[in-house]
Amino acid sequence: MDTSEYLSMFLAESREHLDTLNQAVLRIEEQPDDRATLDEIFRAAHSLKGMSATMGFAQVAALTHRMEDVFEVLRGRPDGLPREGTDVLFQCLDALSAAIDSIDATGTEQLDPGSLITRLTGLIEEQPAEAAPQAAPEPAPAIEPPATVTAAAGEGRVLQVTAALAADVMMPSVRAYMVLAAAGDHGAVIHAVPGKEDVDSFDGRTVVAWVTSDHETEVLQAAIAAVPDVASAVVEELAAGAPAEAAPEATGTQRAEDAAAPSKRTSSTVRVDAERLDALMHLMGELVVDRTAVESLAQEAQLPALTEAVAGLTRSSQALQALVMQVRMIPVEAVFMRFPRLVRDLSTKLGKQVELELIGKDTELDRTVVDALGDPLVHLVRNSLDHALEPPDERRAAGKPETGTIEISARHAGGNVVITVRDDGRGIDPERVARKAVARGLIAEEQAGVVDMQWAIDLLFTAGFSTAEQTSDISGRGVGMDAVRTQIRELGGAVMMTSEPGSGTSVQIRLPLTLAIMPALLTQSGDTPFAIPLERVERTLNLAQQTVRSVTGQRMLVLGDGVLPLIDLADALGYPARAGGDHVVLVRGAERRIALVVDQLVGQRELVTRPLPAAVGDDLALSGGAVLADGSIALIVDCDALAEQMARAPRAADTRSTPTLAHAA
């Protein structure tokens, strides 16, 4: 059978099952008697094994099958496995994950599970043997097929599967699920007792399913008999016209299922390839551009009927745009779920006791943002584990609980998502940072004594700076917080760090909900249109109505709450500028406000963002571009980078050589 057309579905579902198993094994380690989690483990492992075998990936199936045997041991141990046993399970899950990645990249498993299977076998053999004989199964009661099954038997071949579970089965619901899954591997299950909605609460000893299948009865019978705790399995071909009046009493859910033809049952969710979502967003962006052009033409034409039609088009396209954006939104849990395992493994390696708190896992943001958020967050969590949290004896001496805390939280804030990584560790020591900065030649030795917390944070954001005595595979590896800042900036976001010595450190990441369509204030400066992200605009002013003073040749805008230098936007970005300028845009950038002088305020626009070529954007404070309705290109201002650029300029003669990056991206 050619299974290539199912490969993408296999890869996606396999990764979901592996994620489920990682989280479930963590929960079982903490609560070994959690029945619901044990059921979840069996379902995920059995599904992964069945899919792998069907697709022909024998090594993945073999390793997963042996893991099932260990999970079987778990159910009989109220105290769970020893930590070393859980470590082996996690190593198996890592190997399976690598095999799935290999299948994705090369089409082959590249997995040799021999040593892992041996270690799993050792875990099983270490358990005390139970000499109690297995109780004989109760005779399976006769169950007649319902009307929908007899109707199907008149149109094709239907097999009746009857599986009797052992009398002492400890998890009948799991075994029932496995029986039905095994039956489904050989055909289509048209009806079952228990039904799909009732299998989780099933506590009986007989499972019956009716399957339309072309497979031999012996093949299906062997598959059912191979399910653990199945004492006997009988598979018979159902003759057309079999009696239906003696069908078993069904639950309300089952009766509702029987009342509808099977072909009308549909799934409530549909799996869609990510590339199709990207293409949909791209077309939506083009529609936004075209809509803006039509709106402009309608304004010029001044035709009431056209204006009304365009208003309807605008409403419909905006509703469609909102719907497309919602389709692309996924919970940040997709990133958060990797951290319990990461914290468990690294805290063990470092000899630290750590409690991880995850808050706001249901907070949603654009899929592309979620995909790119993982690496920066991993870096921050590793930093907290390695540098910030103290060992138990040090925490005890400081009057703290021996177990440290790392909190990762997410929340919506307007058109942004704010993600915070907070720990209750030792905090940043400005003196230690200063010593490292002197050793690396970043500041002069005489400056070390005046480095305060703000300056220390600035230094931590300097490229290549690290406080580690030696690099390791835990955190820095010689790469400092500048890597995090760079990655977040590429997403159009910002980073802010605060710390209190002895109490802990907090790093806050602010990101846009989506990278594709951005509300912006469109301006004109010189001959170039510039777009300023609307959430960074504080207010706009008419320059002729403001008080302006000259200080050492620099024009200064005098406001009621302070004085700001006036910055010509085009000139600051290296583009031709005209003398003067009529308008001022007050912008929040990095840790300061800046006053940008522009020639014209065009108005608010929804812009479809596009990345700039590296040669254009690398050295300038620009984050992208957008095509306008007339075909021209508006350059999108990177407010944080521009604020830093302006902060450096007047301090050229300052003894500080490091730009102010704290509270900045």
Residues annotated as catalytic are: 46, 68, 383
Cβ–Cβ under 8 Å, residues 658 and 651: no
C-alpha span between 535 and 587 (Å, rounded): 9
CB 425 within 8 A of CB 432: no
Cis peptide bond upstream of 194, omega within 30:
yes
Asked if 388 contacts 349 with a C-beta cutoff of 8 angstroms, the reply is no
Give the whole-angstrom CA distance, residue 190 versus residue 233.
19
Show Cβ contacts of residue 101 under 8 Å, excluding neighbours closer than 6 positions: none
- Do 14 and 52 touch, CB atoms closer than 8 A? yes
- Spatial contact of 417 and 363, defined as CB atoms under 8 Å apart: yes
- Residue ranges of E strands in 80-193: 158-165, 188-193
Tell me the β-bridge partners of 422. Answer: 407, 506
Strand order in the sheet with 188-193: 188-193, 206-212, 158-165, 230-238
H-assigned helices in 198-303: 217-225, 252-259, 274-301
d(CA 168, CA 130): 13
Type and span of the H or E element at 511: strand 504-512
Rounded Cα distance between 484 and 376, Å, is: 5
**Please, which residues have CB within 8 angstroms of residue 256's CB and are 6 or more apart in sequence?**
none
Given phi > 0 = left and psi -120 to 50 = alpha, else beta, which region is 140?
beta
